[in-house]
Amino acid sequence: MASDWPPTLSPEHERALLALASDYSLSHGLVLRPVPSPADHDISQTSAIHAPYSLFPSPFPARLFQQAKALQPLYNQLYAAITADDHFLEEVVGGAVAKVDEFQGRLYDIWKTVKQEGIRQPISLGLFRSDYLIHAPSENKDAWELKQVEFNTISSSFGALSTRVGEMHRYLLSSGLYPFHPSLTPASLPQNGALAGLAAGLAAAHRAYGKDDAVVLMVIQDNERNAFDQRLIEWEVVDKHGIRLLRVPFSQLRTTLSLAPSSSDSTSPAPHSLLYTPPHPFPSSSPSALTPAPVEVSLVYYRTAYSPTDYYTPAEWSTRLLIERSRAIKCPSVAMQLAGAKKVQQVLSLAHQLERGVPSAAERAQLRASFTGLWPMDDSDEGREGQRRARDEPERYVLKPQREGGGNNIYRGDIPPFLAALAAQDEHKADGEPKGREGYILMSLIEPPREVAQVLVRGGEAQGRRADVVSELGVYGVVLVDEERGKVIRNETVGHLLRTKGRESDEGGVAVGFSVIDSPWLI
């Protein structure tokens, strides 16, 4: 996209730039917990390393960046509608997916249970991220297209750290250490409002709950390395909005959460309010307290619970059900998490499916233009075509399960033997039972621009690696929706994330070590 970028620097110049970038990262919270040594059991609480970043901003077509931003409110609206559409979720997720994918099945069972009991809190919060690649099958830049990779409805991370990387690149430009380029100006590096916008979304949900002295509960993984991306959001919520936010590992909620019982006392929490009993008292709420007192939770914000491995024991499933039964607002609710399944993404690409959430024909056309090829793996006509493509032309496709977090997809030549292994397992099933392949979708591989270079700096390292790279753009959205009435209360685009990886890697996750955090230089 910019053939003369990034520039080749002298060793002395690059060392100076790397030193300044490293100091900026460490002093501005662009950091991760280090990977523990084999002898350690827990993540260090007294040390940090800089997060993986790109030394320079990466060129990105301005028209496609603006297109991605303009699409986000439409995607927010669409996924809010799906979240509120019981019939759609029952048909799409409750069909073969819930039967062949145990994880999706358990989430679906929780949703059905709370629907039958009666939803206690119809409002849910989505902190979404829609991820895109540039499809560039030719060198004609005017023909390049923006194509969606996936839509994330739970634990959309790196909003805070992506904000910090953009700030770092602007600082490095102002420092004078970047070599001159006529198109690289402060105006070409877009401001990123992800940190402030995501925190404002959490604050809006807290206010919608209607109890100022309640707390926001951020549920995290045990031994969380990405703590500072979460802490920056926590501090933004506390400092800018005056709301208490507690970060608590999922496993610690087994014994600390409860639902408020019915009471005739008007000062007591309403029935089914979610109560969290901390391990120690809060002196600010009761200076003389000697034992911890429960606090009411307004909002549960999940930064975990998107993968089977996040449910360490059966107790975590009981915790998830307890939370879903409560009056607390969820980010996301189980219904909203189910709406983010890959199967939903594939079904939306079929004719007439977008009509359920997007009434405008012009807006539906905008969304469809961002779709790449998607096929089911069932026995429908589309499914049989997907199976043929996977069998006969696997080098053009990726097979995706209903998973988040990276590292789960099956690419190219690995697809046929994987499907053969699933078929062998299906031989033991009774007639009429869903096949294992029905838990997957087939997606056309997007062809990103070639001969794009970048200097990648891995977490904690003092030197960069020049590589041929691919960049994936994520756009963050905030949506507050009343699932019962299907009413969208808040819908906005709040920021972006650019992740860049070596072209040799198919996967794109920062947390799992495939990518670095980058920022766009609009050209």
Q: Is 404 annotated as a binding residue?
A: yes
Q: Is 225 annotated as a binding residue?
A: yes
Distance CA 332, CA 220 (A): 14
Q: Is 458 annotated as a binding residue?
A: no
Is 342 one of the catalytic residues? yes
54, 58, 157, 471: the catalytic one is 157
Q: Is 484 annotated as a binding residue?
A: no
Is 343 one of the catalytic residues? no
Q: Is 226 annotated as a binding residue?
A: yes
Q: Is 306 annotated as a binding residue?
A: yes
Q: Is 405 annotated as a binding residue?
A: yes
Q: Is 355 annotated as a binding residue?
A: no
342, 343, 435, 437: the catalytic one is 342
Distance CA 499, CA 255 (A): 38
Is 405 one of the catalytic residues? yes
Q: Is 472 annotated as a binding residue?
A: yes
Q: Is 194 annotated as a binding residue?
A: no
Is 129 one of the catalytic residues? yes
Q: Is 269 annotated as a binding residue?
A: no
76, 94, 130, 150: the catalytic one is 150
* Other CB atoms within 10 A of residue 217 CB: 25
Is 147 one of the catalytic residues? no
95, 105, 373, 405: the catalytic one is 405
Q: Please, are residues 205 and 329 in contact by the beta-carbon 8 Å criterion? A: yes
Q: Is 411 annotated as a binding residue?
A: yes
Q: Is 507 annotated as a binding residue?
A: yes
33, 320, 343, 499: the catalytic one is 499
382, 404, 438, 483: the catalytic one is 404
Going by C-alpha positions, the residue among 54, 5, 46 that lies closest to residue 25 is 54
Classify residue 94 by its DSSP letter: I
Query: 129: helix, coil or strand?
Result: strand
Which residue do the tokens 């685009």 mark? 493
Q: Which structure tokens are listed for 340?
A: 């983010």
Q: Is 124 annotated as a binding residue?
A: no
| CA angle at 452 for the pair 407 and 163, rounded to the nearest 5° | 65
The shares of helix, strand and coil residues in the chain, as percent rounded to the nearest 5, are 40, 20, 40
Q: Is 152 annotated as a binding residue?
A: yes
Q: Is 276 annotated as a binding residue?
A: no
Is 115 one of the catalytic residues? no
Q: Is 154 annotated as a binding residue?
A: yes
Dihedral of the CA atoms 38, 43, 45, 50 (nearest 10)? 90
Q: Is 92 annotated as a binding residue?
A: no
Q: Is 77 annotated as a binding residue?
A: no
Distance CA 341, CA 371 (A): 16
> What type of residue sits at position 363?
E
Backbone angles phi, psi at 455, to 5 degrees: -105, 115
Task: Kindly tell me the sign of the dihedral angle through the C-alpha atoms of 162, 166, 171, 173.
Answer: positive
Q: Is 477 annotated as a binding residue?
A: no
Is 400 one of the catalytic residues? yes
Q: Is 400 annotated as a binding residue?
A: yes
Give helix 381-392 / helix 415-426 axis angle, nearest 10°.
Answer: 130
Question: Is the preceding omega at residue 7 within 30 degrees of 0, hence cis?
Answer: no
Q: Is 406 annotated as a binding residue?
A: yes
Distance CA 151, CA 129 (A): 6
Query: 476: helix, coil or strand?
Result: strand
> CA distances (Å), 211 to each of 241, 260, 262, 265, 433, in order?
14, 15, 18, 17, 48
Q: Please, are residues 148 and 132 in contact by the beta-carbon 8 Å criterion? A: yes
Going by C-alpha positions, the residue among 5, 85, 174, 186 that lies closest to residue 484 is 85
400, 435, 439, 508: the catalytic one is 400
Task: Kindly tell me the sign of the dihedral angle through the C-alpha atoms of 321, 323, 326, 331.
Answer: negative
Q: Is 192 annotated as a binding residue?
A: no
Q: Is 409 annotated as a binding residue?
A: yes
Centroid of chain to Cα 200:
17
Q: Is 63 annotated as a binding residue?
A: no
> What type of residue sits at position 460?
G
152, 273, 471, 519: the catalytic one is 152
58, 126, 129, 519: the catalytic one is 129
- What positions carry a catalytic annotation? 129, 150, 152, 157, 342, 400, 404-405, 499
Residues at the binding site are: 129, 150, 152, 154-157, 224-226, 230, 303-306, 342, 400-409, 411, 443-446, 472, 499, 501, 507, 510-511
Residues at the binding site for substrate are: 129, 154-157, 224-226, 230, 303-306, 499, 510-511
Residues at the binding site for Mg(2+) are: 150, 152, 404
Residues at the binding site for ATP are: 150, 342, 400-409, 411, 443-446, 472, 501, 507
